[in-house]
């Protein structure tokens, strides 16, 4: 939902943290959830790790809005559903998040949220869709080779995202 981007972004940034360069993380060097490769695509040049560590807020906000929120079609989703789709897009990619939503609503899982997918989301109560999506998300994480190292954090984040989505919906 258009009016919900700022609240959803706050949730994401609260969970992404600051600087990380964990050699076990396939994303590599990351600042506030933005990887070096993502920042490279945004700047259209290879930034240094130091540039990434000092990413300006205006870049961060624009990047999250254009690369994740807009590409995942979140403006067209119900409050709460927008959060879980956005958070997963940030955490695991827009295509994966979009396909996950499409499977949850019975759409063709092509990874592009369009009018057909959006229309199908409207036929499901937001709370029920958040539950379906969060379950799908948990199941996905359990398939990853890095689950033993990062799984507890992913599960906690999913639980907290689901709870925040319920609060947004007005269903605690």
Long-range contacts of 62-71 (CB under 8 A, 24+ apart): 63/34, 63/38, 63/39, 64/9, 64/12, 64/33, 64/90, 65/5, 65/9, 67/38, 67/41, 67/42, 67/94, 68/94, 69/5, 69/8, 69/9
Helix/strand/coil (H, E, C) string of the chain? CHHHHHHHHHHHHHHHCCEECCCCCCCCCEECCEEHHHHHHHHCCCCCHHHHHCCCHHHHHHHHHHHHHHCCCHHHCCCCHHHHHHHHHHHHCHHHHHHHHHHHHCCCCCCCCCHHHHHHHCCCCHHHHHHHHHHHHHHHHHCCCCHHHHHHHHHHHHHHHHHHHHHHHCCC
Q: How confident is the model at residue 26 (pLDDT cuts 50, 70, 90)?
A: confident
Q: What is the structure's pLDDT at 171?
A: 60
The mean predicted confidence, pLDDT, of the chain is 94
What whole-number distance in Å separates Cα of residue 67 and Cα of residue 79? 19
Q: What is the pLDDT of residues 38-71, one digit of tens each?
A: 999 999 999 999 999 999 999 999 999 999 999 9
Q: What is the pLDDT of residues 141-154, one digit of tens each?
A: 999 999 999 999 99
At 1, the pLDDT band (50, 70, 90 cuts) reads low
In this predicted structure, the answer to whether residue 172 has a pLDDT above a threshold of 60 is no
pLDDT at 22: 83
Distance CA 109, CA 95 (A): 9
20 or 50: which leads in pLDDT: 50
Q: Which CATH architecture best describes the domain 2-169?
A: Up-down Bundle (1.20)
Contacts of 161 (CB under 8 A, 6+ apart): 11, 15, 83, 84, 87, 134
Is the pLDDT reported for residue 25 higher than 80? no
- Is the full-model pTM beyond 0.75? yes
């Amino acid at each position: 939902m258009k009016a919900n981007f700022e609240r959803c972004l706050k949730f994401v940034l609260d969970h992404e943290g600051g600087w990380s360069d964990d050699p076990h993380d396939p994303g590599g060097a990351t600042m506030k959830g933005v990887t070096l490769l993502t920042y490279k695509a945004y700047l259209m040049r290879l930034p240094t790790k130091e540039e990434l560590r000092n990413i300006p807020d205006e870049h961060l906000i624009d990047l999250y809005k254009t690369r994740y929120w807009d590409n995942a079609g979140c403006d067209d989703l119900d409050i709460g559903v927008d959060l879980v789709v956005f958070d997963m897009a940030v955490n695991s990619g827009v295509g994966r998040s979009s396909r996950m939503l499409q499977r949850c609503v019975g759409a063709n899982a092509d990874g592009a949220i369009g009018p057909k997918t959006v229309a199908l989301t409207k036929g499901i109560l937001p709370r029920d869709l958040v539950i379906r999506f969060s379950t799908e998300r948990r199941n996905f994480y359990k398939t990853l080779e890095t689950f033993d190292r990062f799984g507890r954090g992913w599960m906690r984040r999913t639980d907290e995202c689901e709870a925040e989505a319920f609060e947004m919906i007005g269903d605690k």
